[in-house]
Amino acid sequence: MNNVKEKLVFALDVPDLKSAKALIKELAEYVGVFKVGKELFTAVGPEIFKVIKENNGKIFADLKYHDIPNTVASAARVLVRHGVEIFNVHATGGFEMINMTAKAIKEEAEKLGINRPKLLAVTVLTSLNDEDLKSLKINETTSDYVIDLAKLAKSAGADGVVCSPNEVEQIKKELGKEFITLTPGIRPLWSVKGDQKRVMTPAQAVKNGVDYIVVGRPIRNVENRVEAAKKILKEMSE
Ligand SMILES: O=c1ccn([C@@H]2O[C@H](COP(=O)(O)O)[C@@H](O)[C@H]2O)c(=O)[nH]1
């Protein structure tokens, strides 16, 4: 069970520090990594990183940077100084943006004598499907586009990608087992899809070889969150 706990990333999508603290305390025993997304970070800033560290948690800064290379690399240096374990940028920011960021975090971590965070590139959001790509004038299937972006990200120095569990087997086959896959769009059979379109159950995602699964609402929006987390860990270990 402990092994699957390390794979479980919980999305702290709440609007204030008080709610985030309560969730961290409630779920620390069942969750490997806490994900800080745009809502919480915009509300409380880097203070949340301190709180997670104080509770011996690992941090995934899900800030999905997408800007010119110098801006992203500079922001990433700050994340290194905050001691985050994982962070991400959009793969569509391009080779130079990812490459400059990868070099910057290595340099910054060496300067501080600490481990550098893992750099992941977001491929195609799990709320998008083939039809959505067509409307964006992208003439590829979602899975082909994800693989192309994953190849670009790897060649630029990323440690892995954010994708849906549907693409994991292919990514591992083409880019190697060590290339990290972190997958939102996780929906146990007892939960609702909401705005997620490319979804999979925790059990199937683990079978497909994902390194991390991200779960938010299926745990956060139920009455007994500890029970929901335990149920997911059980499904992951079956
Ligand atoms: O492609 C992506 C990238 C990021 N996310 C984030 O993951 C969580 C999922 O939460 P649920 O409540 O389990 O849907 C959320 O914070 C998203 O911002 C994603 O869903 N898809």
pLDDT of residue 3: 87
Tokens of 65: 């940077």
* Ligand 1 pocket, CB under 6 A: 11, 13, 37, 122, 125-126, 162, 184-185, 196, 214-218
Annotated catalytic residue 211:
no
The secondary structure element, H or E, covering residue 60 is strand 58-65
159 is catalytic: no
- Dump pLDDT digits (tens) for 163-184: 999 999 999 999 999 999 999 9
Positions of the chain with pLDDT under 50: none
**ipTM exceeding cut-off 0.95 for this assembly:** yes
In residues, how long is the chain?
238
Q: Give the list of residues 6+ apart from residue 223 with CB closer than 8 angstroms, or none.
A: none
Give pTM, 2 decimals: 0.97
The domain locations on the chain are 4-237
Q: What pLDDT is stored for residue 46 in this prediction?
A: 98
Q: Which homologous superfamily does the CATH classification assign to the domain defined by 4-237?
A: Aldolase class I (3.20.20.70)
